[in-house]
Structure 1
Amino acid sequence: MSGATASSAGPRETTYAFAPSADELAGGMSAGLVRYDTSTGAHQRVPLQDPAVALAWYDRVPYVVTEAQHVRTLWRCADTCARVLTDRSGTLTLGR
Structure 2
Amino acid sequence: MIGAIVSAVVIGAIIGALARLIVPGKQNMSIGLTLIVGIVAALLGTLIAQLAGWADTKGIDWIEHILQLVLAIAGVLLVSRMSTGRTHGPGTTGV
Return the structure number with greater strand share: 1
TM range (shorter): under 0.3
Return the structure number with greater helix share: 2
> Which protein, 1 or 2, shows the higher relative CO under an 8 Å CA cutoff with sep ≥ 6?
2
CA radius of gyration, larger in: 2
Relative to the length of structure 2, the TM-score reads 0.28
